[in-house]
């Protein structure tokens, strides 16, 4: 103001200098721009965040202590000046069962929903919230010790029993359209007047409800009515006061809210009518908008009771058989009475959007028995596997983890749109942006960051979502900011910044501790050997080593026909290679058929039709094709990830076939001289053949030439002069009548070669 006054005085003095007038105008313009900028930036500067806690029902003494501990921590943080809103922290306690039936309908039938509802009701009847526990927390939250907490109770369903007492202790009461308060003493066998006195003492601290309504909630035997008296405004009366007014004839009009013996129920309309509820809200976004919060963070440390979990590993490609096995194991854990948490370790490139969607629905809505479904991405969750990770809450990532991006399955926009209902379910259950989830699956979706000009709240959405969810007036409150790039996936840091993950951890034990488990829980698996093989399959290079060793042993077997040890080892290596790839989800029976036919053709070419013809070339091609297809789930690559997998598969194939060449080279070079492997080679020294083994002496045939009297494939007969003997070719095919020469004689074994 002093600055403006001084320049106002300057203007009143009528400075005639042109330079002075320009200087004054410039200063005034800068002041105006600065003022406008400060005003426009005000919402962002005042942006506040709060916490959301889901209050369990019924409340136990452990739940009360845990809840009060969290509130005390936040109150201490506010006292240190770590909170906005004048040093107060906004905490929203959500009570009651959420009224969104669509989430359950997406993953279960209506009969199953009825069974779940019955189980919930039976649990509430058998274990109601004790009056002492409800009174303890109500006194604490309405007292002076937690004055740094701005306590908001969100009635998001039916709240009955002594849970009602906590609602009366709230500073602000919000209610969903289907929310209600009522029948506070439904679980009391012998209610007395003391309960009503306690309820009145808590209600007077906040003054949300008139005293007759409070008494009606605590005593179902009281009749409660809304009345209008002569020369007085409308009010509420109950019990003897109501009877006296009737007898005196002072009532102008009367509206009964509950009959005597009938529990009083205050639904959303009644709560708004008596101005107890500040607003009717339908979602977390509506709560944030009404409270003018930029963010409503769910508190993950509020899980009730001890957590007993099970670990499920989602590794490799997502296939029908593997999803069926995972779901079967998860369903078996639900039947266990002590299991109430799942820890999901994910390292997968995806593989099938429909299968991932089915499993993600199970993770997003596991039923009332499972309280926590925590997830950790230990390597990558690409493509449709990102849907599995985002269905878990909390979701933790290792520092080098990858979320989203191109994966093993190529998803079209139509495929993603067909799963829109499931995406909404996961977004509602986890409190994440549905637009970001959809954008990770479909790169054609354009997602932007939007900032509310009034509250400073940030959300990530598409322009279509903003226009459809808000009317023309409120849509203008959202200012579109930068576009979020999702096509290449997200790093751990980016996922946390966008609210898609809760934090980073370095190991699986750290993740288990973060979600409330005492340690890494037992792993779910139908057979221990399957778990062992899957663990081996995750070892880098094991499958490649099995392939190389298998081809080496196959080449040794081809060099020494009739001996089965190398062939047996090769068969075991190939079987383990296929099993590892099958459990990883990349190998099916078609790949096994191609691989087996290729080996059979190579065997025919070596042992039946020596040479290098159609069976040899065809066998090599089929074997290479089988190995290549076992390393991937596609035939023709259609995205960057699949191109990389094809390249790696080609190197594995070439390496395996190279092992065959290396094996042949080692056999020719070293094996005949190896003392431990003399039985695997035909190069046996003549001195080792005893005289008893010499059934015939053909030493005189050494170097002689003759004629093959039969085809040599590789064995047959040859004629040398007048003598016809059994001979073996050196490995090449020799036709009948072709000239031959003896190159080696070992006892009765005569080896020949063709003479050109």
Same domain, 339 and 427: yes
Same domain, 195 and 144: yes
- Point out the domain boundary residue: 678, 704, 725: 678
Q: Which of 222-231, 420-429, 674-683 has the lowest mean pLDDT?
A: 674-683
Our count of domains for the chain comes to: 5
Instruction: Give 369-413 pLDDT, tens digit per residue.
Output: 888 899 999 989 988 899 999 999 889 999 999 998 887 777 888
According to the model, what pLDDT value does residue 75 have? 79
Q: Which of 21-30, 329-338, 424-433 has the lowest mean pLDDT?
A: 21-30
Same domain, 374 and 515: yes
Same domain, 103 and 160: yes
What is d(CA 711, CA 669) in angstroms, rounded to the nearest whole number?
Answer: 29
The closest of 435, 449, 512 to 478, measured between CA atoms, is 449
According to the model, what pLDDT value does residue 599 have? 73
Does residue 710 form part of some domain?
yes
**Average pLDDT of every residue of the chain:** 75
- Point out the domain boundary residue: 616, 648, 678: 678
According to the model, what pLDDT value does residue 376 have? 94
Does residue 19 form part of some domain?
yes
Which DSSP string corresponds to 654-702?
HHHHHHHHHHHHHHHHTGGG-GGGGGG-S---GGGS-GGG-SS--GGGT
C-alpha to C-alpha distances, 284 to 57, 173, 289, 294, 387, nearest whole angstrom:
20, 14, 9, 11, 22
Q: Average pLDDT for residues 319-328, to the nearest whole number?
A: 84
Does residue 609 form part of some domain?
yes
pLDDT at 584 over 80: no
Question: 360 vs 671, which has greater pLDDT?
Answer: 360
Percent of the chain with pLDDT over 70: 69
Instruction: Give 620-657 pLDDT, tens digit per residue.
Output: 677 777 776 776 665 566 666 556 666 766 676 676 66
According to the model, what pLDDT value does residue 343 have? 93
Provide the β-strand partners of residue 374.
Answer: 343
Does residue 126 form part of some domain?
yes
- Is 587 exposed, middle or buried, given 0-12, 13-18 or 19+ CB atoms closer than 10 A? buried
According to the model, what pLDDT value does residue 693 have? 46
Q: Average pLDDT for residues 429-436, to the nearest whole number?
A: 84
Same domain, 273 and 148: yes
Does residue 464 form part of some domain?
no
Query: In which domain, by residue range, is 15 found?
Result: 2-45
Same domain, 672 and 537: yes
According to the model, what pLDDT value does residue 66 have? 80
The closest of 462, 375, 374 to 416, measured between CA atoms, is 462
Q: Average pLDDT for residues 567-595, to the nearest whole number?
A: 72
Same domain, 694 and 631: no
Instruction: Give 44-87 pLDDT, tens digit per residue.
Output: 334 477 888 888 888 888 788 888 877 887 777 766 555 444 56
pLDDT at 285 over 90: no
Same domain, 54 and 139: yes
The closest of 55, 33, 529, 125 to 304, measured between CA atoms, is 55
User: The tokens of 143 are what?
Assistant: 């007292």
Instruction: Give 261-282 pLDDT, tens digit per residue.
Output: 888 899 989 898 888 888 999 8
CATH number at residue 749: 2.40.50.140
Q: What's the distance, Cα to Cα, between the start and end of the chain in Å?
A: 114
Does residue 246 form part of some domain?
no
Same domain, 631 and 712: no
Interstrand relation of 739-746 and 749-754 (parallel, antiparallel or unpaired): antiparallel
Q: Which of 97-101, 153-157, 283-287, 697-701 has the lowest mean pLDDT?
A: 97-101
Instruction: Give 178-199 pLDDT, tens digit per residue.
Output: 899 988 888 887 777 788 888 8
Same domain, 555 and 608: yes
What is d(CA 621, CA 706) in angstroms, rounded to the nearest whole number?
Answer: 38
Does residue 222 form part of some domain?
no
- Point out the domain boundary residue: 465, 500, 526: 526
CATH number at residue 133: 3.90.226.10
Same domain, 38 and 153: no
Does residue 459 form part of some domain?
no
Same domain, 108 and 166: yes
């Amino acid at each position: 103001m002093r600055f403006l006054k001084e320049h106002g005085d300057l203007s009143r003095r009528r400075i005639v200098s042109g330079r002075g007038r320009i200087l004054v105008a410039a200063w005034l313009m800068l002041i105006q721009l600065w003022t406008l900028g400060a005003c426009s930036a005000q919402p962002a500067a005042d942006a506040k965040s709060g916490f959301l806690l889901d209050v369990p029902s019924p409340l136990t003494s452990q739940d009360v202590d845990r809840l009060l501990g969290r509130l005390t921590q936040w109150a201490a943080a506010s006292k240190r000046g770590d909170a906005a809103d004048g040093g107060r922290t906004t905490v929203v306690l959500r009570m009651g069962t959420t009224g969104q039936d669509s989430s359950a309908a997406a993953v279960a039938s209506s009969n199953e929903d009825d069974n779940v509802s019955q189980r919930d009701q039976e649990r509430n009847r058998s274990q109601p919230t004790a009056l002492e526990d409800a009174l303890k927390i109500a006194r604490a939250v309405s007292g002076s010790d937690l004055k740094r907490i701005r306590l908001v109770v969100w009635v998001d369903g039916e709240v009955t029993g002594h849970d009602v007492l906590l609602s009366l202790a709230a500073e602000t009461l919000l209610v969903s359209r289907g929310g209600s308060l009522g029948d506070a003493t439904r679980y009391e066998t012998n209610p007395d007047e003391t309960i009503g006195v306690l309820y009145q003492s808590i209600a007077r601290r906040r003054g949300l409800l008139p005293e007759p309504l409070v008494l009606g909630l605590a005593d179902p035997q009281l009749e409660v009515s809304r009345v209008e008296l002569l020369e007085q405004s409308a009010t509420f009366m109950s019990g003897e006061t109501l009877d006296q007014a009737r007898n005196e004839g002072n009532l102008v009009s009367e509206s009964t809210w509950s009959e005597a013996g009938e529990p009083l129920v205050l639904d959303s309309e009644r709560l708004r009518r008596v101005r107890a509820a500040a607003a009717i809200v339908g979602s977390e976004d509506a709560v944030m908008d009404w409270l003018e919060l930029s963010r409503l963070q769910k508190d993950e440390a509020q899980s009730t009771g001890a957590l007993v979990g099970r670990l499920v590993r989602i590794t490799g490609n997502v296939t029908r058989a593997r999803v069926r096995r995972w779901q079967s194991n998860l369903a078996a854990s639900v039947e266990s009475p002590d299991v109430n948490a799942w820890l999901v370790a994910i390292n997968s490139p995806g593989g099938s959007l429909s299968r991932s969607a089915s499993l993600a629905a199970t993770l997003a809505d596991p039923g009332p028995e499972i309280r926590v479904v925590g997830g950790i991405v230990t390597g990558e969750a690409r493509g449709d596997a990102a849907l599995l990770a985002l269905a878990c809450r909390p979701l933790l990532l290792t520092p080098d983890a990858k979320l989203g991006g191109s994966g093993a399955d190529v998803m079209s926009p139509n495929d993603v749109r067909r799963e829109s209902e499931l995406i909404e379910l996961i977004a509602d259950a986890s409190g994440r942006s549905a637009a970001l989830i959809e954008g990770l699956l479909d790169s054609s979706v354009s997602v932007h960051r939007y900032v509310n000009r009034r509250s400073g709240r940030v959300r990530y959405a598409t322009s279509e979502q903003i226009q459809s969810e808000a009317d023309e007036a409120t849509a203008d409150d959202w200012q579109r900011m930068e576009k979020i790039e999702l096509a290449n996936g997200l790093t751990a840091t980016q996922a946390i910044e966008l609210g898609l993950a809760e934090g980073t951890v370095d190991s699986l034990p750290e993740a288990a501790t973060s979600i409330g488990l005492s340690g890494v829980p037992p792993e779910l698996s139908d057979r221990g050997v399957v778990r062992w093989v899957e663990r081996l399959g995750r070892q880098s290079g094991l499958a490649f080593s099995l392939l190389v060793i298998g081809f080496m042993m196959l080449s040794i077997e081809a060099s020494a026909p009739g001996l089965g040890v190398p062939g047996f080892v090769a068969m075991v290596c190939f079987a383990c290679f296929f099993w590892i790839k099958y459990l990883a989800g990349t190998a099916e029976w078609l790949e096994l058929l191609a691989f087996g036919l290729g080996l059979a053709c190579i065997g025919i070419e070596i042992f039946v039709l020596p040479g290098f013809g159609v069976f040899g070339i065809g066998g090599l091609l089929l074997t290479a094709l089988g190995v290549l297809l076992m390393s991937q789930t596609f035939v023709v690559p259609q995205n960057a990830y699949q191109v990389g997998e094809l390249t790696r598969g080609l190197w594995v194939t070439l390496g395996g076939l190279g092992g065959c060449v290396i094996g042949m080279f080692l056999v020719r070079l070293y094996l005949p001289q190896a003392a431990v492997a003399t039985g695997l080679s035909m190069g046996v020294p003549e001195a080792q053949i005893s005289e008893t083994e010499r059934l015939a002496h053909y030493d005189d045939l050494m170097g002689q030439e003759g004629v093959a009297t039969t085809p040599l494939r590789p064995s047959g007969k040859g004629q040398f002069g007048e003598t016809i003997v059994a001979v073996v070719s050196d490995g090449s095919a020799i036709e009948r009548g072709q000239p031959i020469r003896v190159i080696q004689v070992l006892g009765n074994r005569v080896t020949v070669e063709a003479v050109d």
